[in-house]
Structure 1
Amino acid sequence: MTKFDEATQAIKVDEGTYDVCLDPGYAIGGPLNGGYLMAVILRAAVDASPFEHPVSTTAQFLKAPVAGPAQVRIEPLKAGRTAAFARATLVQDGMAHIEGLITTATLNGAEPVFEEPADDMPGRDECVKLPDPKPESGMTLNAQMELLFDPPTIGWLKGEPTGRPESRAYFRMAEPQEPDPYVLALAVDALPPVVFSAGARGWAPTVELTWHLRALPAPGWLTLLGSGRLISDGWFDEEVEVRDSAGRLVAQSRQLARVGRG
């Protein structure tokens, strides 16, 4: 079992309850990363389902949980021949922190009938890492994964944002681990907020995030392509497309978040 598997482990207590322990290693300056929290919830939801894969997840982030013990409560809604539906709630100290609606099914690895080509991305040898965060920053998430960025999309580090909400990077776990649906849950929320490239700074809390598992990923690096369509009234959207090492679309997400103050 890898460190990530342990950090997202859900232990069944009864038919509708799972104990989890939220790991402090997935923090972003204090709050825990939303993709990591979704992976925790999905472990419980898939265990409680007759199907193997979380093909659609919608999560409402009501309150930021803290590292430590919590529970995931699963309420089955309907199960058919090809898909099952459930409500999953992350509860800490008796309070709901995340409400999720999860559809599970079993993907069989069929070849796509149609697939839109991916956007161009420079080779990994042309991409760069972000500087390591200072220990006092509380940015422990960075140590759990490797990200190699398309240089223009991190121009904001030097005060040279592109002016467009965008972020593009190669992704893999820092510990040797091939991507699976739970790694993809982390990956869709692993990029810096796309508003950084548009000139904003500061923590940008996710309010709602929906993501779809489109295929089981091939081994190797993932490619994350992030963009936004509108920044207005203190809100922004962020869409992320995830391609595997074979170039296949394996996940796609959209989230609504608040523009940070920094």
Structure 2
Amino acid sequence: MTKFDEATQAIRVDDQTYDVCLDPGYSIGGPLNGGYLMAVILRAVVDDSPFEHPVSTTSQFLKAPVAGEARVRVERLKVGRTAAFHRATLIQNGAPQIESLITTATLTGADPIYADKAPEIMPPVAQCIALPAPKPESGMTLNAQMEMRFDPPTIGWLSGAPSGRPESRAYFRMAEPQDPDPFVLALAVDALPPVVFSAGGRGWAPTVDLTWHLRALPAPGWLSLIGSGRLVADGWFDEEVEVWDSAGRLVAQSRQLARVGRG
């Protein structure tokens, strides 16, 4: 079992309840990363489902959970022949933190009837760069859990020269050697710096609603994360992320609505 597997494990208490321990290693300055929290919730739902894979997840982030003990309450809405539907709630200190609707199924890895080609916008890994390590006092522990190599034009905001477009692109893999799986993909779709940074925004940008789809089981190796946005207005922005695996296949898609941070 990897450290990530341990950090996301859910222990069954009864037919509707799982105990979880939210790991401080996935902090973004206090609050925990939304993708990590979704991975925790999905562990419980997949354990309860007769199907292996979380193919669709929609989560609303009511509050910002912190490290420590919590519970996931799982409700089966319907179980069919090819898919199951669940509602899951992450609860901490007696209060709902995240509400999720999740569809599970079993992907077979069959060849697609149609598949788009990977976008030719990412340079080779060797030409991409890592972000500077955060200061220990920042509470940004998430960075240590994964390796990311960024397409240089999308991190101009670091030097005060944002591109002016909401965008973020990087290669991604776990810091501890681990082949990507659906739970790693849950983390990956929310791993990029907010795309609003490249449009001039700064500060913590809390996710309000995030939906992501598992499209295929990923091959081993680096994942490519392609993030973009369409509108930044009235204190809100949207972010879409495509995740491509090392074999050039689209393995996950996400869209989220978030608040523009205060620098």
- The one-letter amino acid paired with 1:83 is A
Task: Identify the residue that residue 9 of structure 1 maps to in structure 2.
Answer: 9
Give the SS at the match of 1:42.
Answer: helix
Displacement of 1:118 in angstroms is 1.8
> Using the alignment, how far apart are the partners of 1:221 and 1:116 within structure 2?
19
- The one-letter amino acid paired with 1:102 is I
Give the SS at the match of 2:111.
Answer: coil
- The one-letter amino acid paired with 2:123 is P
TM-score normalised to the size of structure 2? 0.99
> Using the alignment, how far apart are the partners of 1:115 and 1:141 within structure 2?
33
Displacement of 1:97 in angstroms is 0.2
Displacement of 1:115 in angstroms is 1.4
Task: Identify the residue that residue 79 of structure 1 maps to in structure 2.
Answer: 79
Task: Identify the residue that residue 202 of structure 1 maps to in structure 2.
Answer: 203
> Using the alignment, how far apart are the partners of 1:134 and 1:114 within structure 2?
46
Moved over 4 A (4+): none
- The one-letter amino acid paired with 2:220 is P
> Using the alignment, how far apart are the partners of 1:16 and 1:85 within structure 2?
14
> Using the alignment, how far apart are the partners of 1:103 and 1:40 within structure 2?
15
Give the SS at the match of 1:78.
Answer: strand
Task: Identify the residue that residue 98 of structure 2 maps to in structure 1.
Answer: 98
> Using the alignment, how far apart are the partners of 2:150 and 2:115 within structure 1?
24
Give the SS at the match of 2:107.
Answer: coil
> Using the alignment, how far apart are the partners of 2:232 and 2:112 within structure 1?
34
Task: Identify the residue that residue 180 of structure 1 maps to in structure 2.
Answer: 181
What are the residue-to-residue correspondences of 1:220-259 with 2, within 5 Å?
Answer: 220-259=221-260
> Using the alignment, how far apart are the partners of 2:229 and 2:254 within structure 1?
11
> Using the alignment, how far apart are the partners of 1:112 and 1:231 within structure 2?
35
> Using the alignment, how far apart are the partners of 2:49 and 2:87 within structure 1?
11
- The one-letter amino acid paired with 1:56 is S
Task: Identify the residue that residue 63 of structure 1 maps to in structure 2.
Answer: 63
> Using the alignment, how far apart are the partners of 1:175 and 1:82 within structure 2?
34
- The one-letter amino acid paired with 1:156 is W
Displacement of 1:16 in angstroms is 0.5
Displacement of 1:166 in angstroms is 0.2
Displacement of 1:128 in angstroms is 0.2
What are the residue-to-residue correspondences of 1:140-155 with 2, within 5 Å?
Answer: 140-155=141-156
Give the SS at the match of 2:197.
Answer: helix
> Using the alignment, how far apart are the partners of 2:29 and 2:86 within structure 1?
32
Task: Identify the residue that residue 113 of structure 1 maps to in structure 2.
Answer: 113
Deviation per CA, 1:95-130, whole angstroms, max 9, x where unpaired? 000000000000000111111222121000110000
Give the SS at the match of 1:143.
Answer: helix
Task: Identify the residue that residue 88 of structure 2 maps to in structure 1.
Answer: 88
- The one-letter amino acid paired with 1:60 is Q
- The one-letter amino acid paired with 1:13 is V
- The one-letter amino acid paired with 1:211 is W
Give the SS at the match of 1:40.
Answer: helix
> Using the alignment, how far apart are the partners of 2:205 and 2:91 within structure 1?
22
Give the SS at the match of 1:245.
Answer: coil
Displacement of 1:165 in angstroms is 0.2
Unaligned runs of 5+ in 1: none
CA-based RMSD of the aligned residues comes to 0.4
> Using the alignment, how far apart are the partners of 1:113 and 1:127 within structure 2?
33
Displacement of 1:222 in angstroms is 0.3
Task: Identify the residue that residue 54 of structure 1 maps to in structure 2.
Answer: 54
> Using the alignment, how far apart are the partners of 1:233 and 1:111 within structure 2?
43
Percent identity of paired positions between Structure 1 and Structure 2 = 81
Give the SS at the match of 1:133.
Answer: coil
- The one-letter amino acid paired with 2:248 is G
Task: Identify the residue that residue 41 of structure 1 maps to in structure 2.
Answer: 41
> Using the alignment, how far apart are the partners of 2:76 and 2:174 within structure 1?
32
> Using the alignment, how far apart are the partners of 2:117 and 2:256 within structure 1?
22
